[in-house]
């Protein structure tokens, strides 16, 4: 049955059905957002992407109960004149399209800059010219390194929150030098944020900027050699999943000392739905979306994933479950890293009353159960073929 029309926003007003142009809808976040919008709302989605594998169950073909609710538009926003028409027909545009895997930042710096800045320009322009609302996906990487990271490692001030907690309206953006091309991504994202902010200030664009802090869960990226290139390097969740599925050691880059906070994709999607449906509270805002309670070093993440995967698969641990690799070996020249990422949650809490719920252990259990179920057989087949030939 269709969801009831009587859903209310945070101020108690009925939510009117929206038409949403979602660019990058076929990606990790887009696929979860499409599912959520189809399951719990009456909104209509134009799903724009160059591929649709992750939303095939929703669009190819759309199941009968979703007829008229979601359509897939295969187009590259770099060079397709249909984009403006779709934005004009929609009430709201959500832009998720980006190159956003660290392995690309220093090896494909031009594509990274074009994708995250140049290709987003027409989207911002069409929204501004046609008075359409825009929710743009930026990144927590715009904060770069923490202030505390420049202090000696045993300095007591490193423990003070003002030296590491990342605040939307106060923290500086601290990037490394130009030769460290890792920061080209962060810099491109920062400039598009500034441009959107300026469109708001000078031309009245209604915008919301989202800064995701390591959202993870099922369907993130790809497993190399199964549903992505064998030599491809996805983000850490998929790298470690791939290692566990193949029973090879997890690779810790530069000792795995960097710290991250991981949030479950389904918690984060709740925050995005609140932004979509509460424009008066979300317009003009930049929101951190993360889980400050789920902080680990990359080494701790590797240990936890190894333990959880052992329980899920019933496979015994390896003698050597982890190995160290240098960032140069793993990513190549020009790699650098964010040291620590704790999101301040004051603004999203105040505006939208949102808080993350799922502890890291629980989200890893759900996610690794999915990885095992989805990929284990394919990997077994592939490995036995390789050993036979």
Does 144 sit near ligand UDP (CB under 6 A)? no
- Angle separating helix axes 121-129 and 82-89, nearest 10 degrees: 40
- The residue within the footprint of ligand NAD, chosen from 35, 36, 42, 50 (CB under 6 A), is 50
- The residue within the footprint of ligand NAD, chosen from 34, 100, 272, 305 (CB under 6 A), is 100
221-250 residues in contact with ligand UDP (CB under 6 A) are 235-236, 239
Q: Which does 29 bind (CB under 5 to 8 A by kind): ligand NAD, ligand UDP, none?
A: ligand NAD
- The residue within the footprint of ligand NAD, chosen from 18, 20, 22, 27 (CB under 6 A), is 27
Number of residues assigned to the chain: 389
Shortest-Cβ-distance residue relative to ligand NAD: 27
Q: Which of 105, 126, 185, 264 is catalytic?
A: 185
Does 28 sit near ligand NAD (CB under 6 A)? yes
Q: Phi and psi for 301 in degrees, rounded to 5?
A: -60, -45
Does 336 sit near ligand UDP (CB under 6 A)? no
- The residue within the footprint of ligand UDP, chosen from 52, 298, 342, 364 (CB under 6 A), is 298
- In our burial notation (b when 16+ CB lie closer than 10 A, e otherwise), range 50-61 reads eebebbeebbee
Helices and strands (H, E) in the chain, number of each type: 14, 15
Rg over CA atoms, the chain: 21
Does 278 sit near ligand UDP (CB under 6 A)? no
Residues 77 and 50: beta-carbon distance below 8 Å: no
| Close Cβ partners of 57 (under 8 Å, ≥ 6 residues apart) | 63
Return d(Cα 34, Cα 228) in angstroms, integer.
22
- The residue within the footprint of ligand UDP, chosen from 104, 199, 337, 344 (CB under 6 A), is 337
Does 337 sit near ligand NAD (CB under 6 A)? no
CA dihedral 144, 148, 151, 153 (to 10 degrees): -100
- Catalytic, 185? Answer yes
Residue 357, CB-side half-sphere exposure with 13 Å CA sphere? 9
**List of residues contacting ligand UDP (CB under 6 A):** 102, 214, 235-236, 239, 251-253, 256, 258, 260, 298, 337-338
Catalytically active residues are 185
**List of residues contacting ligand NAD (CB under 6 A):** 24, 26-30, 49-51, 76-78, 96-98, 100, 115, 119, 137, 139-140, 212, 214-215
């Amino acid at each position: 049955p269709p969801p009831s029309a009587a859903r209310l926003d945070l101020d108690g007003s009925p939510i009117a059905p929206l038409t949403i142009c979602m660019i990058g809808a076929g990606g990790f976040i887009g696929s979860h957002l499409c599912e959520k919008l189809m399951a719990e709302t009456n909104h209509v989605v134009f799903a724009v992407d160059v591929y649709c594998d992750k939303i095939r169950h929703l669009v190819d073909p759309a199941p009968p109960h979703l007829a008229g609710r979601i359509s897939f538009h295969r187009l590259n926003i770099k060079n397709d004149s249909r984009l403006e028409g779709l934005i004009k027909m929609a009430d709201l545009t959500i832009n998720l399209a980006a190159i956003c895997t660290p392995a690309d930042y220093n090896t494909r710096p031009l594509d990274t800059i074009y994708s995250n800045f140049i290709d987003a320009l027409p989207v911002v322009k069409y929204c501004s010219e046609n008075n359409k609302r825009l929710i743009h996906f930026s990144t927590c990487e715009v904060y770069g390194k923490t202030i505390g990271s420049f202090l000696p490692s045993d300095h007591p001030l490193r423990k003070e929150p003002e030296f590491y907690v990342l605040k939307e309206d106060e923290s500086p953006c601290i990037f490394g030098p130009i030769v460290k091309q890792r920061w080209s991504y962060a810099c491109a994202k920062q400039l598009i944020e500034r441009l959107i902010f300026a469109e708001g200030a000078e031309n009245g664009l209604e915008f919301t900027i989202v800064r995701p802090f390591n959202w993870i869960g099922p369907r993130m990226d790809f497993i190399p050699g199964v549903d992505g290139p064998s030599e491809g390097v996805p983000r850490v969740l998929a790298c470690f999943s791939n290692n566990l599925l193949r029973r090879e050691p997890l690779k810790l880059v530069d000792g795995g000392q960097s710290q991250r906070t991981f949030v479950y994709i389904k918690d984060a999607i709740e925050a995005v739905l609140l932004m979509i449906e509460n424009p008066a509270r979300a317009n003009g805002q930049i929101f951190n979306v993360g889980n400050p309670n789920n902080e680990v070093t990359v080494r701790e993440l590797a240990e936890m994933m190894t333990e959880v995967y052992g329980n899920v698969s019933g496979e015994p641990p390896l003698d050597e479950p982890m190995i160290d690799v240098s960032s140069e070996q793993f990513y190549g020249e020009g790699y650098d890293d964010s040291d620590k990422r704790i999101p301040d949650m004051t603004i999203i809490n105040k505006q939208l009353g949102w808080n993350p719920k799922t502890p890291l252990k629980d989200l890893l259990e759900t996610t690794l159960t999915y990885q095992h179920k989805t990929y284990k057989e394919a990997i077994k087949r592939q490995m036995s073929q390789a050993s036979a030939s």
